[in-house]
Amino acid sequence: MNNKELVKAYYEELWNNQDKSYIDKILADDIAFHGSLDVNTNGKKEFEEYMDMILSAIPNLYHGIELMVAEGNTVVVRAIYNGTHSGKLFNYEPTNNRIQYNGASFFTIKDSKIKSIWVLGDLNSLYQQVSEKE
């Protein structure tokens, strides 16, 4: 897989299809994840725990790629996230609200694996949506 294909697999296979076998296929053993939800993980096990926590709160979370740019070992994605807030997300009890917010992710690729991910999300919009009852 080239760098863009790795990142597409991260979104489509790992997150959207929730196929955790892709953790071993596309992530480096020492993957460093820095999320906009103030979560930092190191290694595949911590990343999987983060993924489980997010999916328990938003089980149908969908990551849409709006724009992808690759240069050298870096891939940048503008994404849109949406789903239903049906489980506890940090201090926010389930609202069953449909949520949608934007983000940008910065991937570093090394030896055909994703080595690090930095995510910046529109948390203002997300927190507003998970704190209001419809």
* Residue carrying structure tokens 């930092």: 40
pTM over 0.95: no
Angle at the Cα of 99 from the Cα atoms of 3 and 78, rounded to 5 degrees: 25
Contact between residue 31 and residue 43 where contact means Cβ atoms under 8 Å apart: yes
What pLDDT sits at residue 134? 57
- Phi and psi at 71, nearest 5°, equal -150, 125
Q: How far is CA 87 from CA 14, 27, 34, 126, in A?
A: 20, 27, 22, 14
Residue 120: count of CB within 10 angstroms of its CB = 13
Does the structure show a pLDDT above 60 at 116? yes
The domain that holds 69 is classified in CATH as 3.10.450.50
- Cβ-contact 112, 75 below 8 angstroms: no
Backbone angles phi, psi at 43, to 5 degrees: 90, 165
List pLDDT tens digits, range 11-48.
Answer: 999 999 999 999 999 999 999 999 988 899 999 999 99
Closest CA to 37 of 57, 9, 59, 17: 57
Write down the pLDDT at residue 38: 83
- Mean pLDDT value across the chain: 94
Least confident of 25-34, 61-70, 95-104: 95-104
The boundaries of the domain holding residue 63 are 3-131
How many separate domains does the chain show? 1
Percentage of residues in the chain having pLDDT higher than 90: 80
